Structure 1
Amino acid sequence: MATNTTPNSVTPPQPQFSRMEQHTKHEQGWRRVVRNFTPSWFSVSMGTGIVSLLLHNLPYNGIWLYWLSIAIFLLNVLLFLAGSVITVLRYTLYPEIFLAMIKHPVQSMFIGTFPMGLATIINMICLVCVPQWGQWVSYFAWGLWIFDAAISVTVALSLPFILMAHGEQTHLSSMTAVWLLPIVSCIVAASSGAIVAEVLPNPQYALWTVITSYVLWGIGLPLALMVMVIYLARLALHKLPPKAVIVSVFLPLGPLGQGGYGAMKLGQCARDIFPETQTLEQTSGSTFYALGFLVGLILWSFGLVWLFFAIASIARNKTFPFNIGWWGFTFPLGVFATTTCQMGRELPSEFFNIIGTILSIFVVILWIIVSIGTLKGVVSGKLFVAPCLADLRVEDKDAGKTA
């Protein structure tokens, strides 16, 4: 028997929404901020943190600079916590973005800014909070440093390997100095370890921290120097980077400046801790101290070469668009200024003290300029752009064609 079908019995076709349409719905309001909050935003914490350290350790200091450094330190803590919360939201609400970010050859490198931003906070805790609140804060800073060191090693080893093992073939012309960011995190953690060791009341814990910091320094600096060789070849063969990323030419100052500062601070710690813990020979600490200053002086001198290249590159381009990469001005110049000031204290030398003060003031002025530009970009929303999301959109488009 035939069955009659009426129009009412026909099920209407259900609308099909592509993943791209679903993503579009999430690119408005606060969700747009969360989706586009890339790891590069932690460079804001790096730049703000180094300014607080410079003002605190300025050779020609005053009480008003001390309180100003504390105010900027508190601002840095708020920025870091806010960035951490937004980052957790980003990868919790949109877990697919994490894989896209890790595979991106540029954005993934900025993961190194997270431990470096945290290191500036740890340093200020040791310099400001420990003298005021007592020994328990030193152990709190030590715990934070252990976490920071573990993250730094993980980032410094895994990200270069991911760059080697996954993705499309990388051309030398596309290489930028951001390759240094995950590697420099180890050098920053080593320098921070020296500052933490100085405030630890237990000499044995301090010794462990110093030895571990030397290992971190040994992981980071030689690898950074190798990357700098590749970067120099890229500049010679393929000329200066595009204007959008021209600020990255300052990044080689980071490993050289922080490496020199770390060598001097670790040598200082070795001079004090080795005899107390009967490590090696009686004079070993003094030998480490002298070698630390020698290495710091050599790396500082090499930094002058890259400082010239960077200034000449900026002068040649004259104008270039503002973006989040402008924070690449502050931290590399800041750690170079920190090394200069440290050399002035060790010698002692008025020459290095004056040069360090001039560089520090220049970094503070740059920080103010970049902060104003960043604030405008945040208000307008122009800075919330995540290049790694383009890969997701391509996947969505391909998935739609397949369906």
Structure 2
Amino acid sequence: MQDGAADDGDVEKNGQANGQHDKAQEPRSRFSLMIEDFSFIWFTLSMNTGILSILMHQLPYQFNGLGILSTIMFVFNLVLFSVFFIMMLLRCILYPRSLIKACASNITELSLIGCLPIAWYTLLAQVGLTVSNASWGGEPFFIVAVVMWWIGTIVMLAVAATVIVVFSKTDIVNANTINPAIIVPFVGTTTNALVGGEICQYSAEVNARVAVPVIITSYIVCGIGFFVALLIYAAYFVKLMNTGLPPPPLTPSLIMLVGPAGQTAAAVQVLGSAAQTHFGNYGKGTFLQSQAGELLATVGVLLALLFIGIGLLFAIFGVYVILETAYKRQHKYTLI
């Protein structure tokens, strides 16, 4: 009897084990696989769409219909961002271990987390540029843009700090494995500064008491982005000297190196104009006065010209390498 009971128990355990094994072997749906493999790189599509919408809105040479095209791109960007954000949220909920493992072991995946807040910035910029200036917009939507900006600032600083901590505590990156994607979080902080200046300068019915803290904080985060980018530039030069250019399919990623310099150049100009506009109305202390605002506007143009210099160098270098790789027919499509 005892042997029979034991046999029955063994059979039951084996049945449970086989059931669990069969369950593990069940084919997964394409949707679940797509969710688990969903990458932050998809937010680059939202980023680029948003940048195009902003450029069309701010282009000095306007023509009939360009504003409408800018609004269409803004709405399209909103749809893209919403879809990608939901997909990434599902991955965080359903497959958190997979996401953490990917970010902790892959320098590119970790760096591209910065694409999410950058895409967010393109949306909030258009809230200030387009929505607040609509006939039904006004100051309430400037406040909405500012709230969105502060949320983005907190997230972007958290991402930048996390990237530095992971780089310093793990061995996923060194002077020989560094790639241009590492600069994305710091492109994000300079973009943060640029968008802060834009919503304070170009939104409708801007409140100086709300705008000035945004301007001051934007200068600070701009400094974080640009000066950390200088360190990355130096490290990447060491990589180029040691191991040469990245693989041919990844040579377009060299254009990422233009980002911090270009965004910083734009940011200091826009922030200078915003300071000139709002510091006088704020009028507190010795620095937040109209004279300081005028000085920042002038110095911003000078600094922008200096920053454009290094950006132009990397642009020429990147274009040359891309053209040479294309001439040799070594390109292969990739989102990076």
Return the TM-score normalized by structure 1. Answer: 0.75
In the other structure, the counterpart of 2:299 is 291
CA apart distance, 1:276:
1.8
Please, what is the CA RMSD of the aligned residues? Answer: 2.3
Aligned AA for 2:44?
S
Provide the C-alpha distance between the structure 1 equivalents of 2:87 and 2:5, rounded to a whole number of angstroms.
54
The answer as to 2:305 corresponding to 1:300 is: no
Please list every run of at least 4 consecutive aligned residues from structure 1 whose deviation after the TM superposition is greater than 6 angstroms: none
Provide the C-alpha distance between the structure 2 equivalents of 1:112 and 1:309, rounded to a whole number of angstroms.
24
Structure 2 stretches lacking a partner, 5+ long: none
CA-to-aligned-CA distance 1:161-182 (integer Å, 9 cap, x gap): 111113x363322110111011
In the other structure, the counterpart of 2:74 is 73
Provide the C-alpha distance between the structure 2 equivalents of 1:119 and 1:258, rounded to a whole number of angstroms.
13
In the other structure, the counterpart of 1:276 is 281
Choose from 171, 174, 190 the match for 1:171. 174
Choose from 143, 149, 154 the match for 1:150. 154
Provide the C-alpha distance between the structure 1 equivalents of 2:317 and 2:19, rounded to a whole number of angstroms.
51
Provide the C-alpha distance between the structure 2 equivalents of 1:90 and 1:39, rounded to a whole number of angstroms.
11
SS of the residue 1:240 aligns to? coil
Say if 1:283 and 1:83 are closer, same or farther in 2 by CA, change over 3 A.
same
CA apart distance, 1:23:
8.4
Provide the C-alpha distance between the structure 2 equivalents of 1:309 and 1:271, rounded to a whole number of angstroms.
36
Provide the C-alpha distance between the structure 1 equivalents of 2:9 and 2:215, rounded to a whole number of angstroms.
76
CA contact (8 A) 2:128 2:145 kept: yes
Bigger relative contact order, structure 1 or 2 (CA pairs below 8 A, ≥6 apart): 1
Say if 1:8 and 1:182 are closer, same or farther in 2 by CA, change over 3 A.
same
Aligned AA for 1:190?
A
The answer as to 2:220 corresponding to 1:212 is: no
CA contact (8 A) 1:156 1:183 kept: yes
Identity %: 23
Corresponding residue pairs, total: 322
Choose from 196, 199, 203 the match for 1:196. 199
Provide the C-alpha distance between the structure 2 equivalents of 1:253 and 1:18, rounded to a whole number of angstroms.
52
Provide the C-alpha distance between the structure 2 equivalents of 1:78 and 1:68, rounded to a whole number of angstroms.
15
Say if 1:22 and 1:244 are closer, same or farther in 2 by CA, change over 3 A.
farther
Aligned AA for 2:185?
P
The answer as to 2:225 corresponding to 1:230 is: no
CA contact (8 A) 1:155 1:183 kept: no
SS of the residue 1:269 aligns to? helix
SS of the residue 1:67 aligns to? helix
Say if 1:217 and 1:6 are closer, same or farther in 2 by CA, change over 3 A.
closer
CA contact (8 A) 2:129 2:199 kept: no
Choose from 314, 317, 320 the match for 2:331. 320
CA contact (8 A) 1:260 1:300 kept: yes
The answer as to 2:128 corresponding to 1:126 is: yes
In the other structure, the counterpart of 2:10 is 11
Provide the C-alpha distance between the structure 1 equivalents of 2:276 and 2:7, rounded to a whole number of angstroms.
90
Say if 1:22 and 1:96 are closer, same or farther in 2 by CA, change over 3 A.
farther
In the other structure, the counterpart of 2:186 is 183
Structure 1 stretches lacking a partner, 5+ long: 326-403
CA contact (8 A) 2:208 2:279 kept: no
CA apart distance, 1:16:
5.2
Provide the C-alpha distance between the structure 2 equivalents of 1:60 and 1:244, rounded to a whole number of angstroms.
36
